[in-house]
Amino acid sequence: MTEKVVELLYRSIIQHLAGNEEKSKEYTERARRINKNTCRCGGQTVLCKYNRRLARICTECGIVLQDGSVAQRCWVDSRRVG
């Protein structure tokens, strides 16, 4: 989880405690979208295909994520990926 995701979740909790449910849900959804596109190293992921199935590849470390787990590490030069 990145610092931005944690910040959004803190804001969500504060808004929830203040009684503003709509703003709380908005912050939670934003955090969920950011976390989905983030690798465990903190890099952003982009869509790709691995073994003819949809996957995500990290632009920083080159790990290929499929169904939330690591499928393989990409051996392509990382400068070409990003």
- pLDDT exceeds 60 at position 70: yes
What's the whole-number average pLDDT of the chain?
84
pLDDT tens string 20-56: 999 999 999 898 888 777 777 777 888 888 888 998 8
Instruction: Provide the whole-model pTM.
Output: 0.56
DSSP 13: H
| pLDDT tier, 9 (very low <50, low <70, confident <90, very high otherwise) | very high
CB of 30 closer than 8 Å to CB of 8: yes
Per-residue pLDDT averaged across 3-17, rounded? 92
